[in-house]
Protein backbone atom coordinates (compact mmCIF):
# COMPACT_ATOMS: atom_id res chain seq x y z
CA UNK A 1 0.00 0.00 0.00
CA UNK A 2 1.39 3.36 -1.00
CA UNK A 3 1.45 6.39 1.29
CA UNK A 4 1.83 8.72 -1.61
CA UNK A 5 -1.00 10.69 -3.20
CA UNK A 6 -1.77 10.39 -6.88
CA UNK A 7 -0.81 14.05 -7.33
CA UNK A 8 2.26 14.59 -9.43
CA UNK A 9 5.65 14.96 -7.81
CA UNK A 10 7.75 16.14 -10.71
CA UNK A 11 10.27 18.71 -11.77
CA UNK A 12 9.45 21.77 -13.81
CA UNK A 13 11.85 23.07 -16.43
CA UNK A 14 14.11 24.54 -13.74
CA UNK A 15 14.56 21.29 -11.84
CA UNK A 16 12.44 22.28 -8.86
CA UNK A 17 9.59 20.29 -7.47
CA UNK A 18 5.90 20.94 -7.81
CA UNK A 19 6.22 23.98 -10.01
CA UNK A 20 8.32 26.02 -7.58
CA UNK A 21 9.54 29.04 -9.53
CA UNK A 22 13.15 30.05 -8.91
CA UNK A 23 12.38 33.60 -9.97
CA UNK A 24 10.28 33.95 -6.81
CA UNK A 25 12.59 35.59 -4.26
CA UNK A 26 10.96 33.50 -1.49
CA UNK A 27 12.26 30.28 -3.04
CA UNK A 28 14.61 28.49 -0.65
CA UNK A 29 16.80 25.82 -2.24
CA UNK A 30 17.09 24.07 1.14
CA UNK A 31 13.40 23.18 1.31
CA UNK A 32 10.76 21.05 -0.37
CA UNK A 33 7.34 22.23 -1.49
CA UNK A 34 5.32 20.58 1.30
CA UNK A 35 1.92 20.59 -0.42
CA UNK A 36 2.59 17.13 -1.86
CA UNK A 37 3.65 15.71 1.48
CA UNK A 38 0.67 17.13 3.37
CA UNK A 39 -1.57 14.89 1.25
CA UNK A 40 0.49 11.78 2.07
CA UNK A 41 -0.86 9.35 4.64
CA UNK A 42 2.20 9.68 6.86
CA UNK A 43 2.28 10.07 10.63
CA UNK A 44 2.55 13.60 11.95
CA UNK A 45 4.28 14.60 15.14
CA UNK A 46 3.63 17.75 17.12
CA UNK A 47 6.56 19.05 19.16
CA UNK A 48 6.67 21.79 21.76
CA UNK A 49 9.46 24.33 22.27
CA UNK A 50 12.53 22.59 23.67
CA UNK A 51 11.29 19.10 22.78
CA UNK A 52 13.90 16.86 21.15
CA UNK A 53 13.16 15.00 17.91
CA UNK A 54 16.48 13.17 18.07
CA UNK A 55 19.89 13.47 19.67
CA UNK A 56 23.33 13.41 18.13
CA UNK A 57 24.59 9.81 17.95
CA UNK A 58 21.06 8.33 17.98
CA UNK A 59 20.30 5.68 15.37
CA UNK A 60 18.53 7.14 12.35
CA UNK A 61 15.34 5.30 11.45
CA UNK A 62 13.39 8.13 9.80
CA UNK A 63 13.56 11.59 8.30
CA UNK A 64 11.33 14.48 9.23
CA UNK A 65 9.76 17.01 6.89
CA UNK A 66 8.88 20.21 8.74
CA UNK A 67 5.29 21.29 8.11
CA UNK A 68 5.19 24.23 10.52
CA UNK A 69 7.39 25.88 13.12
CA UNK A 70 11.15 25.80 13.44
CA UNK A 71 13.55 23.03 14.41
CA UNK A 72 17.08 23.90 15.58
CA UNK A 73 19.88 21.62 14.43
CA UNK A 74 22.69 21.67 16.99
CA UNK A 75 25.95 19.85 17.60
CA UNK A 76 28.27 20.19 20.59
CA UNK A 77 26.15 23.12 21.79
CA UNK A 78 26.60 25.02 18.50
CA UNK A 79 23.57 25.83 16.39
CA UNK A 80 24.11 24.75 12.79
CA UNK A 81 20.80 25.62 11.20
CA UNK A 82 17.19 26.62 11.82
CA UNK A 83 14.93 24.44 9.70
CA UNK A 84 11.46 25.75 8.88
CA UNK A 85 8.52 24.59 6.77
CA UNK A 86 9.60 22.44 3.85
CA UNK A 87 12.90 21.57 5.51
CA UNK A 88 14.15 18.01 5.72
CA UNK A 89 16.05 16.76 8.75
CA UNK A 90 17.62 13.45 9.65
CA UNK A 91 18.32 12.37 6.08
CA UNK A 92 22.02 11.62 6.46
CA UNK A 93 21.64 8.90 9.09
CA UNK A 94 18.76 7.33 7.19
CA UNK A 95 20.67 7.27 3.91
CA UNK A 96 23.98 5.91 5.23
CA UNK A 97 22.64 3.82 8.15
CA UNK A 98 24.92 5.76 10.47
CA UNK A 99 24.24 7.66 13.66
CA UNK A 100 22.68 11.13 13.79
CA UNK A 101 25.32 13.78 13.12
CA UNK A 102 23.51 16.45 15.17
CA UNK A 103 20.53 16.93 17.47
CA UNK A 104 17.14 18.33 16.41
CA UNK A 105 15.25 20.42 18.97
CA UNK A 106 12.01 22.35 18.46
CA UNK A 107 12.54 26.11 18.72
CA UNK A 108 8.79 26.71 18.77
CA UNK A 109 5.54 24.80 18.47
CA UNK A 110 6.11 22.70 15.35
CA UNK A 111 4.61 19.91 13.29
CA UNK A 112 6.64 17.41 11.28
CA UNK A 113 5.88 14.48 9.02
CA UNK A 114 7.66 11.27 9.98
CA UNK A 115 9.01 9.38 6.96
CA UNK A 116 10.35 5.98 8.03
CA UNK A 117 12.90 3.96 6.08
CA UNK A 118 10.31 1.97 4.10
CA UNK A 119 8.32 5.06 3.12
CA UNK A 120 11.54 6.89 2.20
CA UNK A 121 12.65 4.04 -0.06
CA UNK A 122 9.22 3.83 -1.64
CA UNK A 123 9.24 7.55 -2.37
CA UNK A 124 12.75 7.42 -3.84
CA UNK A 125 11.73 4.45 -6.01
CA UNK A 126 8.37 5.84 -7.16
CA UNK A 127 9.25 9.55 -7.33
CA UNK A 128 12.95 9.82 -8.34
CA UNK A 129 12.74 13.62 -8.32
CA UNK A 130 12.43 13.39 -4.53
CA UNK A 131 15.89 11.78 -4.33
CA UNK A 132 17.31 14.62 -6.45
CA UNK A 133 15.62 17.18 -4.21
CA UNK A 134 17.10 15.61 -1.07
CA UNK A 135 20.54 15.63 -2.74
CA UNK A 136 20.01 19.32 -3.68
CA UNK A 137 19.22 20.13 -0.05
CA UNK A 138 22.25 18.20 1.20
CA UNK A 139 24.52 19.92 -1.35
CA UNK A 140 23.15 23.31 -0.32
CA UNK A 141 23.93 22.57 3.32
CA UNK A 142 27.49 21.60 2.44
CA UNK A 143 27.92 24.81 0.46
CA UNK A 144 26.50 26.90 3.32
CA UNK A 145 28.95 25.36 5.79
CA UNK A 146 31.96 27.40 4.59
CA UNK A 147 32.44 30.95 3.30
CA UNK A 148 34.00 29.58 0.12
CA UNK A 149 31.07 27.26 -0.46
CA UNK A 150 28.56 30.06 0.05
CA UNK A 151 30.16 31.96 -2.84
CA UNK A 152 29.59 28.95 -5.10
CA UNK A 153 25.92 28.71 -4.17
CA UNK A 154 23.46 29.54 -6.98
CA UNK A 155 21.76 32.10 -4.69
CA UNK A 156 24.93 33.84 -3.46
CA UNK A 157 25.29 37.61 -3.70
CA UNK A 158 28.17 39.86 -2.54
CA UNK A 159 25.85 41.38 0.09
CA UNK A 160 25.80 38.13 2.09
Which helix (H) or strand (E) segment is 112 a member of?
strand 110-116
Provide the residue ranges of all domains of the chain, joining segments of one domain with +: 35-143
Give burial (CB, 10 Å; 0-12/13-18/19+) of 71. buried
| pTM summary value | 0.74
Give burial (CB, 10 Å; 0-12/13-18/19+) of 90. buried
What's the CATH number for 35-143? Answer: 2.60.120.10
- Whole-number Å distance between alpha carbons of 80 and 10: 30
pLDDT, one tens digit for every residue, the chain (160 residues) = 455 555 555 443 233 333 333 333 344 666 777 777 777 788 999 999 999 999 999 999 999 999 999 999 999 888 988 999 989 999 988 889 999 999 999 999 999 999 999 998 988 888 888 888 888 888 888 887 766 644 555 554 445 4
Amino acid sequence: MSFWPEASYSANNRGCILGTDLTNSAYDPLTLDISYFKAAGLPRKHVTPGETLFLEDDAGDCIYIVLSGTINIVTFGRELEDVGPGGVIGEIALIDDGLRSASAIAAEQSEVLVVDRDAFRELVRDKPQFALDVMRIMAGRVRQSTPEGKKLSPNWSPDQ
